[in-house]
Structure 1
Amino acid sequence: MTINAAGSADISAGVSAGISAGNSAVTSQISQSGPGASGLDAPALRTTLERLAAAAGIRQWDLGAACSSDTSVQVDRGEAKQMKGAQRSSITLRVWNADGLVGITSTSDLSESGLERALGGAKEAASFGNAADTPQFSPLATAALQPLEQPLQEPLGILKLLATLRDAEAQLLGRHPAIGTVPYNGLAERISEHIYLNSDGACRQQLQSTASIYLYARAEQEGRKPRSAGAMRLAYGAASLDLAGCIDEAAELTISHLDYAPINTGRYTCVFSPEAFLDLISAFSSMFNARAVLDGVSLSNRESLGQSLAVPFFNLQDNGLHPGNIGARSFDGEGTPIQRLSLVDAGVLSNFLHSEATARAFGVAPSGHAGLGAKVSVGPNWLEIGPTPGSGGGQQGLNRYASGNGAIVWIDSLSALHAGVKASQGSFSLPFDGWLVKDGERRSIEAATVAGDIRSLLNGIVGFEGEAKVSPDGLCPHVWVEGLSITGEA
């Protein structure tokens, strides 16, 4: 058993203040000992840790740190609903004892005394480490990193964010008389910094700026059910956000759902939007996760590599370095460089996502998908989905609006992924928003669920429609799948 000694080492002092006036609230959260997002000095921090570790008789250690300065606003019909400013820092420190066992602590105190206490806590926790599952340093923690083009942008400040979001809300409300509120909205900007250090000389540091806006409108007409839809945009700074595109998309989607009708239960050819298909694949990412394979909670096993998983013209890659990935990291929690990794090539499962420990168990190199901990988590970075080069990509010329298609279900967004997906079994049953398209005309579906098995779905792909679209979770075109079960509202 590995003990996480975070409780004994977490000595941060949080200061929170709330100011309420009518519908507005201002909240500030400041870690007393945490630096600003740009206040970390990785080489100096490593020098301090080396000295403290030597004094404590610790020969092997590593540290992962994340700091951020966040500002966000929400509005409600022109009034400030919430305004937040937060400065956060979190540090994870691991120590190996003379027996090779690892202990871990978490803290937000980067002062010398705070680091000294954290090292001591981790050293004590190492006595209870799990000898059967002990992580080591990634052999790639000092390898060269691929450069990322990530321009740092100055924050606009909370008052400018508030004015911008108020204007965006007003524009969206003015698009249609039925749009009465934008109940879910937000505009945020962040400066963040990530560090990885270890006693073998690794010294990673990355600083980045990001911003996001989301607008989710609610429309209602007399005698009809309320309908909702939304849109989101990301950028390197709030000044670069595509506000007009976000407003247009949220308005168009919301208005398109006003004319709705029930759908008959049955099997349909379905067209998944890029966002919906990426959400579904991400929900079943344990198929490609070596940690899940070793823990016995994946549909895949050690022998699955090289076996057919999908139609022969389907490709899936994890590419956290793609230019469209606004929040791209150059290294993972263990300091391993992020890289492009083929997961499914021509329908065949080609690789798993790995940490240092899982890579060691499989006899391969870490892939850059690890967190940091006593038992390190593994997860995807940013997915790319599309046709296998040279394969033709399945059926050609697909167009959901073409006449002669019959009734097609266009799935725009999936809901309840946390409850409706049984990842270890492969099954899913999910509510969705979308349209029934027939003879070139679309009509919103009142309420329905789509159900099936992920392996059957991957082998039921007919082809791809249109160019691949960049979304927050990856790159994907519209995906056609035949024979899915659709259950309409009773």
Structure 2
Amino acid sequence: MLNTETIAKYAQSSAEKLNINKYDIYGSSIDETSVEVDNGEPKQVQASNRSSVIVRVWNEKGTVGVTSTTDLDELGIKLALETAKEASTFGNKDNPPDFSPQAQDSIENIADEIVEAAPVPTLIDTLIKAETKLLQAHPAIKGVPYNGLSQEDIKRFYLNSEGSLRQEARSYSVIYLYSRAEEEGKKPRGASSVKISRGLETLDVDGCLKEVTEKTISHINYRTIPSGKYTVVFSPKAFLSLIGAFSNLFNAQNILDKQSLSDLESLGKELASPLLCLCDNALHPENIGAETFDGEGTPTRAVELIKDGVLTGLLHSSGTAKRMNAQPTGNANIGAKVTVGSHFYHVFSNHQADPQYNLDEGENLIFIDQLQALHAGVNSLQGSFSLPFDGWLVNKGELTSIDAATVAGDYLTLLKSIICVESKAEVTPGGVCPRVWVRDLSITGE
């Protein structure tokens, strides 16, 4: 693992020798072990240690040079600083990045959580047992072609020449199962589930197995549906994937680059149903991957993006915040260019869910579990989407798997067409979200 204090000493001494007055360094190190199995036998076992460090150097003219390295000894840090200094001559003179004004502010006091890694044989045995139970759950389940169980330790740090030094370490364990069901005369069907936890002992393997088993069995008997307008209920995972696909809506860098559905005048305008509230909260208690600072050393926090349907905030780096007369939000990723990205979404409503919107009572509803082909079926600059999905036709609580269908529409119209944000939320790897109901969405079936 990284020794941040040692790297800081290397950087300081090397910068003095190279006559560098201003620099910062962001880095991470990952120790990972992962396994895959196939029909009760280990298919793949991997162990790796990956380090990545970004070094930025400012010259006397204020332009920045950026380089990366994986050599974390004294010579490696010195060479990286030297290379970045040389590159600074060619740095962008328009809106060059600077240190975050919050790089030395106090950060959330979250203790490092490193869990002792389980032995590889234990990982293999756990995954084989899960695969075996899944194969035995139904005669139609013929295989688990995609599966994995991994554990990793991640350490992150940030330091700069003005004395900022931040570091944190976390452990994670993840299980993934994807089944394949086949019956004569029918199309192959499948389902997936992912669970994440701090370590193997607390990983919900049984919950992952239960979810993928129930979904797989429910998809075996499927039917076609007629095309038309339907009330659609998005699962938490599906709705969060839509938010991610159109995240340019509240990304300050995208707005400045004119690559967004929003513009500089959008703040304070209503863009969704009053039922919808959305935050980006890296420090949410349910976020296993909590990060207390971003790539610029800015402390992370809960960032309110949408409140009662109104766009109230944006995700900022220090550069976008300066240009838009705002404050950094802890969402910067540094590299050749500083970019802005989300951490962990939280979708909720300040309004009580209407009891009439209930899957046990509703008729002719489409329940979308998972959206497919997001890379190809989304035009994020126009706001349009046309996406295949896995889901069910719902009539008074009875779920019938849908053969093949796509959901299409305009994202901004979808946001304003939300008629219910349920009260009960679900934790996913990407955020916390309840089921969300949307009226009159176009579904193309048979």
Smaller-chain TM-score bracket? over 0.9
Q: Is the 8 A contact 1:148 1:321 kept in 2?
A: no
Q: Which amino acid aligns with 1:44?
A: T
Q: Distance in 2 between matches of 1:426 and 1:176?
A: 41
Q: Is the 8 A contact 1:397 1:465 kept in 2?
A: no
2:444 aligned residue: 487
Q: Is the 8 A contact 1:228 1:257 kept in 2?
A: yes
Q: Distance in 1 between matches of 2:51 and 2:422?
A: 43
Q: Deviations over 1:221-257 (max 9, x none)?
A: 1111110001110001122111111101010000000
Q: Deviations over 1:113-169 (max 9, x none)?
A: 111111111011000001003100001111111122563210002221111111110
Aligned-partner SS, 1:301 = coil
Say if 2:417 is the partner of 1:460: yes
Q: Is the 8 A contact 2:113 2:169 kept in 1?
A: no
Say if 2:144 is the partner of 1:185: no
Q: Deviations over 1:340-363 (max 9, x none)?
A: 010001110001100010000011
Alignment of 1:159-198 (within 5 A): 159-198=121-160
Q: Distance in 2 between matches of 1:109 and 1:123?
A: 17
Aligned-partner SS, 1:257 = helix
> Which deviates more from structure 2 when the two are superposed, residues 56-65 or residues 435-444?
435-444
Instruction: Give the length in aligned residue pairs.
Output: 446
Of 157, 164, 167, which aligns to 1:205? 167
Q: Which amino acid aligns with 1:280?
A: L
| RMSD of Structure 2 on Structure 1 (CA) | 1.1
Aligned-partner SS, 1:46 = helix
Of 292, 295, 300, which aligns to 2:257? 295
- Residue 433 of structure 1 and its aligned partner are, at CA, apart by 0.3
> Which deviates more from structure 2 when the two are superposed, residues 244-253 or residues 151-160?
151-160
Q: Distance in 1 between matches of 2:409 and 2:119?
A: 46
Alignment of 1:15-414 (within 5 A): 37=1, 40-148=2-110, 151-388=113-350, 391-393=351-353, 395-402=354-361, 405-414=362-371
Q: Which amino acid aligns with 1:45?
A: I
Q: Deviations over 1:424-444 (max 9, x none)?
A: 111111000000012432100
Q: Is the 8 A contact 1:411 1:432 kept in 2?
A: yes
Q: 1:277 to 1:138 in 2, by over 3 A?
A: same
Q: Distance in 2 between matches of 1:151 and 1:86?
A: 20
Q: 1:68 to 1:440 in 2, by over 3 A?
A: closer
Q: Is the 8 A contact 1:399 1:465 kept in 2?
A: no
> Which deviates more from structure 2 when the two are superposed, residues 43-52 or residues 184-193?
43-52
- Residue 88 of structure 1 and its aligned partner are, at CA, apart by 0.8
Aligned-partner SS, 1:145 = coil
Q: 1:314 to 1:124 in 2, by over 3 A?
A: same
Aligned-partner SS, 2:265 = helix
Q: Distance in 1 between matches of 2:439 and 2:79?
A: 59
- Residue 41 of structure 1 and its aligned partner are, at CA, apart by 2.2
Q: Distance in 2 between matches of 1:242 and 1:110?
A: 36
Q: Distance in 1 between matches of 2:372 and 2:8?
A: 44
Q: Is the 8 A contact 2:112 2:168 kept in 1?
A: no
Aligned-partner SS, 1:268 = strand
Aligned-partner SS, 1:304 = coil
Q: Is the 8 A contact 2:151 2:199 kept in 1?
A: yes
Q: Distance in 2 between matches of 1:150 and 1:197?
A: 18
Aligned-partner SS, 1:467 = strand
Q: Which amino acid aligns with 1:350?
A: T
Q: Distance in 1 between matches of 2:328 and 2:423?
A: 34
- Residue 45 of structure 1 and its aligned partner are, at CA, apart by 1.6
Aligned-partner SS, 2:105 = coil
Q: Deviations over 1:442-462 (max 9, x none)?
A: 100000000011111010001
Q: Distance in 1 between matches of 2:51 and 2:404?
A: 43
Q: Is the 8 A contact 1:437 1:443 kept in 2?
A: yes
Q: Which amino acid aligns with 1:379?
A: G
Q: Distance in 1 between matches of 2:396 and 2:68?
A: 59
Of 388, 391, 394, which aligns to 1:437? 394
Q: Is the 8 A contact 2:10 2:78 kept in 1?
A: no
Q: Deviations over 1:403-425 (max 9, x none)?
A: xx331000000011111111111
Q: Which runs of 5 or more structure 1 residues have no equivalent in the other structure?
A: 1-36
Q: Distance in 2 between matches of 1:55 and 1:440?
A: 71
Q: Distance in 2 between matches of 1:396 and 1:455?
A: 25
Q: Distance in 2 between matches of 1:359 and 1:374?
A: 19
Q: Distance in 1 between matches of 2:177 and 2:79?
A: 45
1:472 aligned residue: 429
Q: Deviations over 1:454-490 (max 9, x none)?
A: 111010001123501111111111110000000014x
Q: Distance in 1 between matches of 2:300 and 2:129?
A: 38
- Residue 328 of structure 1 and its aligned partner are, at CA, apart by 1.1
TM-score, structure 2 as length reference = 0.98
- Residue 51 of structure 1 and its aligned partner are, at CA, apart by 1.2
Q: Is the 8 A contact 2:144 2:178 kept in 1?
A: yes
Following TM superposition, the consecutive aligned residue runs of length 4 or more in structure 1 with deviations greater than 6 angstroms are none
Q: Distance in 2 between matches of 1:150 and 1:132?
A: 39
Q: Distance in 2 between matches of 1:392 and 1:233?
A: 29
- Residue 397 of structure 1 and its aligned partner are, at CA, apart by 4.0
Q: Is the 8 A contact 2:384 2:409 kept in 1?
A: yes
Q: Is the 8 A contact 1:308 1:349 kept in 2?
A: yes
TM-score, structure 1 as length reference = 0.89
Q: Distance in 1 between matches of 2:399 and 2:51?
A: 48
Q: Which runs of 5 or more structure 2 residues have no equivalent in the other structure?
A: none
Q: Distance in 1 between matches of 2:79 and 2:396?
A: 69
Q: Is the 8 A contact 1:311 1:347 kept in 2?
A: yes
Q: Distance in 2 between matches of 1:172 and 1:216?
A: 10
Q: Distance in 2 between matches of 1:204 and 1:49?
A: 15
Q: Deviations over 1:238-294 (max 9, x none)?
A: 221111111010100000001100010000000000110011111111100000000
